[in-house]
Amino acid sequence: METLCGKGGGWRRIASLNMTDPNEKCPTQFRTYSKDGVRACGRPVTNSGSCVGITLPSRDIKYSQVCGKVIGYRYLSTDGNADRANRDINSAYIDGISLTHGNPRKHIWTLVSGYYCPCYNENSFSLPSFVGSNYYCEAGCHYWCLSNPLWDGKGCGSSGTNCCQRTLIPWFYRSFGYSTTDNIEMRICCDQRTSDEDVLFGQYEIYVMGKQEMLHQPSYSILQNSLTNISDQLKGSSNGVSESLSSVTSLFQLSFLKELIGSYKEKSSNSSNEEGLALLKRIELILNTSTADLNNKLDTSTAELSTRLSAIEQDIPSVISSLQSQVSSLSSDLNKLSRLLAKHVNVTLDDEEGLPSPLLFSSCDAILSKWPNSPSGYYSIINDTGHTRHVYCHMETLCGKGGGWRRIASLNMTDPNEKCPTQFRTYSKDGVRACGRPVTNSGSCVGITLPSRDIKYSQ
């Protein structure tokens, strides 16, 4: 949700790999290279030039922008953009990595490996016209130089300074001016056999963004109209019943549900599929609770109505008919709402225990215990004094102790928008920023407080 490629947040990640993680493996299409503890992925053994690729699925979500990065390594004698027989997009038109979408292939970005770079070597051949300026090129070093990865904006040398001075590097950005649901293809291409040259990747992250909605506009309208109808009918009941019902949590939860749906509608143009699923999951949980609460209160209210109506039915028979109609309509609307959510959202409205579940928990771990498939993200938790806090919960395994961790602090100085806490001094060299003590003529300790916000913890 933070800014990526200088274009704000709301990106959906469709693929990522980080071979520094010992649990990650190269996709089956590629061969694993390993040296001095560094692992990377390259072409399988071949006696000729080749392109080997992997499909990064869009899952039929429309997008019009791509933001990504690939960190790679040069292996042996890659010559980048040297002259070659085939220069079309379907061939090994460079030694490097090609990202395309669709069939026939449409160019997204090219990452070139070797000394024949337009930004490095004035004798380099020009890149194919379909590449344009949408490429990065870096020479790296001969054989397999682990200390100088490719396309990270560093280590280009004095003669290759222009290669490292691209605005977004290591990130790249493309905007198409049109929307597509095409899968993205990432290929390693070299025009010689693997015993002569190869290009490897050790990390990649690919994000897309564009106008998209998980629910169609008519679905939004029907859901919102149904919720409005329920709320209006409850408020239009006789004073006694309206007063008793308006004080229960069901009305508050239905109102909150309306706000969530409205919020999702507003954000759907730039939210990712994962975030949409998480939002709909929360809507489901709230609806479970509100439906159970409402049904319980309706049972009580129906009994109260029957008693009151029997005492006055001779005087105002029209009131009886009106109230019965309202109860029937309310029940019908609840059934419609359940069917609509089941149809359009593809979630179940049945709580496993058949009882309403609390909306607020005292810890991230409690949320994960109740709903084991909860995604990482921001949740509201409550402390001993009854105050709620909006916190980030890490639901995946951390420190080998399972999920349900609450983040109390984070800092990443590789993000240009992040700054050192005011207590510390910023150091900067070769594009790397870090935080240390302020200038002092003696030994000292300088610290920062990471607030618990009155939430209990034992780990």
* 161 and 223 fall within a common domain: no
Q: Identify the residue whose tokens are 């994000």.
A: 207
In a domain, 144, yes or no: yes
Strand partners, 429: 432
* 42 and 190 fall within a common domain: yes
Buried b vs exposed e over 126-156: b needs ≥16 C-beta within 10 Å?
ebbeebeeebbbbbbeeebeeebbbbbbebb
Please tell me the predicted confidence (pLDDT) of residue 242.
42
User: Which structural domain range is residue 261 located in?
Assistant: 217-344
Torsions phi, psi of 252, nearest 5?
Answer: -60, -45
Domain boundary, last residue among 209, 233, 252: 209
* 175 and 305 fall within a common domain: no
Buried b vs exposed e over 373-387: b needs ≥16 C-beta within 10 Å?
ebebbebebbeeeee
In a domain, 236, yes or no: yes
* 179 and 224 fall within a common domain: no
C-alpha–C-alpha distance, residues 183 and 181, integer Å: 7
Residue 411: other Cβ atoms inside 10 A:
11
In a domain, 357, yes or no: no
User: Is residue 451 packed enough to be buried (19+ CB in 10 Å), middle (13-18) or exposed (0-12)?
Assistant: exposed
Domain boundary, last residue among 209, 240, 269: 209
DSSP three-state, residue 238: coil
C-alpha–C-alpha distance, residues 145 and 20, integer Å: 16
* 180 and 113 fall within a common domain: yes
Is the separation of the CB atoms in 78 and 113 below 8 Å? yes
Overall pTM surpassing 0.75 (yes/no) = no
Per-residue pLDDT in tens (0 to 9) along the chain, 459 residues: 888 999 888 899 999 999 999 999 999 999 999 998 899 999 999 999 999 999 999 998 899 999 999 999 998 888 887 666 678 999 999 999 999 999 999 999 999 988 777 777 666 677 899 999 999 988 777 667 778 899 998 888 766 778 888 889 999 999 998 999 999 999 999 989 999 999 999 999 999 998 543 334 444 454 555 555 555 554 454 444 444 444 444 555 555 565 666 555 555 544 445 555 566 666 666 666 666 666 676 667 677 777 776 666 666 666 666 776 777 677 667 666 766 655 554 443 344 343 344 456 778 888 888 888 888 888 878 777 777 777 889 888 899 988 888 898 999 999 888 999 999 999 999 889 999 999 988 899 999 999 887 777 889
Contacts of 241 (CB under 8 A, 6+ apart): 301, 304, 305
* 158 and 189 fall within a common domain: yes
* 66 and 178 fall within a common domain: yes
* 338 and 392 fall within a common domain: no
C-alpha–C-alpha distance, residues 60 and 182, integer Å: 7
* 338 and 370 fall within a common domain: no
Torsions phi, psi of 267, nearest 5?
Answer: -90, -5
Please tell me the predicted confidence (pLDDT) of residue 351.
40
User: Is residue 231 packed enough to be buried (19+ CB in 10 Å), middle (13-18) or exposed (0-12)?
Assistant: middle
In a domain, 118, yes or no: yes
Q: Identify the residue whose tokens are 């997008």.
A: 63
In a domain, 358, yes or no: no
DSSP three-state, residue 261: helix
In a domain, 7, yes or no: no
C-alpha–C-alpha distance, residues 411 and 431, integer Å: 17
* 195 and 94 fall within a common domain: yes
The separation between the first and the last C-alpha atoms of the chain, rounded to the nearest angstrom, is: 28
Domain boundary, last residue among 147, 181, 209: 209
C-alpha–C-alpha distance, residues 454 and 433, integer Å: 32
* 204 and 233 fall within a common domain: no
- Look at strands 96-101 and 184-190 and give their pairing: antiparallel
CATH code at 162? 2.60.120
For 26, 42, 147, 248, 316, the CA distances from 22, given in Å and listed in that order, are 11, 17, 19, 51, 77
In a domain, 134, yes or no: yes
**Total structural domains within the chain:** 3
Given CA atoms 51, 81, 205, 64 in this order, what sign does their dihedral have?
Answer: negative
* 45 and 123 fall within a common domain: yes
In a domain, 4, yes or no: no
